[in-house]
Amino acid sequence: MRIDPKYFNRFVFIAALFGAALIVLFTFWNQESREDIFKRRLEMKADSIRSIYFQNISGNDSVQIQQYENKWVVLDFWSTWAPQSRQSHRILNRLKKRHPNKIEIISAASQDPVNEIKSYIKKHGYPFTFVRARALYRDVNPPGVPTQIVYSPDGKVTFVWVGYRDSKQYDEFEKILN
Tell me the pLDDT tens digit for each residue of 47-78.
Answer: 899 999 999 997 778 999 999 989 999 999 99
pLDDT digits (tens, 9 = 90+) for 96-151: 999 999 999 999 988 899 899 999 999 999 999 999 888 888 888 888 899 999 99
The pTM of this model reads 0.80
CA 155 to chain CA centroid, Å, is 19
CA neighbor of 107 nearest in space, from 46, 144, 148: 148
User: Is residue 168 scored above 80 in pLDDT?
Assistant: yes
Which residues make beta-bridge pairs with 130? 107
What are the pLDDT digits (tens) for 19-57?
888 887 776 666 567 788 888 888 888 889 999 999 999
pLDDT above 90 coverage of the chain, percent: 49
Question: Which one of 3.40.50.300, 1.10.8.60, 4.10.520.10, 3.40.30.10 gives the CATH number of domain 46-177?
Answer: 3.40.30.10
